[in-house]
Amino acid sequence: MTDTVADADATASDPATDTDLNAPPLVAAYRHDVHKLRGRTHTHAHDEACGVPVNEPVPRNADRDAALLSRPRGEPEQTLDRYAGPRRVSLLTGEFAGDSGTLSQAELAPLVTPTDPEVLHRRWLASAAASRCSESPFYPYTSAKIHTLLTAALLDNYRAGYDFSELFLEVQPGDGIDAVCPAPGTLARADVVTPIRTVLATPDVVVTVTGDPSGPAARLGAAPARCCADVWGRLPEHPLDVSTHATRVLDAQLRRIRAVSTALQYIEDFHRWRGWGADTQKGGDGR
């Protein structure tokens, strides 16, 4: 089983155009890596799942660029046989993120069957099931969930006329957002997220990839690369309230993690582990 940046690069010389797809481009972006959620390779990917077209190439090289934010180019080698599978390994705990690295039909359907990209965005943003899978067994700490959200966010920005070098990582307070949804496919505080472009929503921070930031933001760089630690350190305002020990540890780790999908998934894992905001806000017990 393999999924390397070379796989994403396969379409670079002949990138898909909007008219090449069976689904609208942004819808296709949310469906483009369904094979990873089913534990299959690009070679063995199916063209359809849950009655809709899936695993189509993403226009404008958005998939490739999203991959390069978390994985280096080239053909990697498997270093640990234990991780030779689709299950993501949590950088926070060192354990597998779930009992299975594949999604059941019931778990997958809500993530691919809607035809409104904003509905797909909200469902991916709130999905715990998708976070069980890595981008590649060679990079088990990466997140297929965050990669998919990054791909769609990049594509949306590219379609709006922005080049990668014009994009920012915007980090704003979560203001207690509850990403454990009260109803399927919704966010309790949907007003604090930007459709398509928000790639993480937690009680402490909301992270958005955009060419038009409205809050504290830092440029992603001249070209796609594993840059999260650098970008986090260049934010003009401190993105976290570090009045507690828990958030100080979180902030320190984010200044070390370079792979974007790994870093953002680390934030989500942190909040799920802490109980979504318990003792991480100002005035917490600091443990």
28-37, 155-164, 271-280: lowest mean pLDDT where? 271-280
**Predicted local confidence at residue 17, as pLDDT:** 72
pLDDT score of 60:
96
The predicted pLDDT at position 118 comes to 95
Given a cut of 90, whether residue 267 has pLDDT beyond it is yes
Q: Among 17-26, 50-59, 194-203, 265-274, which stretch is predicted with the lowest mean pLDDT?
A: 17-26
Average model confidence (pLDDT) across the chain: 84
Q: So where are the chain's domains?
A: 5-274
pLDDT tens profile 226-236: 999 999 999 99
What pLDDT sits at residue 274? 77
Angle, CA 255 vertex, CA 238 and CA 221 arms, to 5°: 85
Beta bridge partners, 206, equal 172, 201
Q: Which residue has the higher pLDDT, 70 or 205?
A: 70
In terms of Cα–Cα distance, which of 169, 181, 177 is closest to 129? 181
Q: Which of 101-110, 221-230, 274-283 has the highest mean pLDDT?
A: 221-230
Query: 11-35 burial, b if ≥16 CB within 10 A, otherwise e?
Result: beeeebeeeebebebbbbbbbbbbb
Q: Which of 58, 277, 18 is nearest to 147 (CA)?
A: 58
142-154, pLDDT tens digit by residue? 999 999 999 999 9
> In this structure, which amino acid lies at residue 81?
D
Which pLDDT score is estimated for 203? Answer: 82
Mean pLDDT on 237-263: 92
Q: How far is CA 24 from the centre of its chain?
A: 20
Per-residue pLDDT for 187 more than 60?
no
- % the chain with pLDDT above 70: 80
Residues 6+ apart with CB under 8 A from 223: 68, 164, 165
pLDDT digits (tens, 9 = 90+) for 74-119: 877 776 666 667 889 999 988 888 777 789 999 999 999 999 999 9
Mind listing the pLDDT tens digit for each residue in 23-81? 999 999 999 999 988 876 666 667 888 999 998 999 999 999 999 999 998 877 776 66
- Give the pLDDT score at 191: 67
Contacts of 13 (CB under 8 A, 6+ apart): none
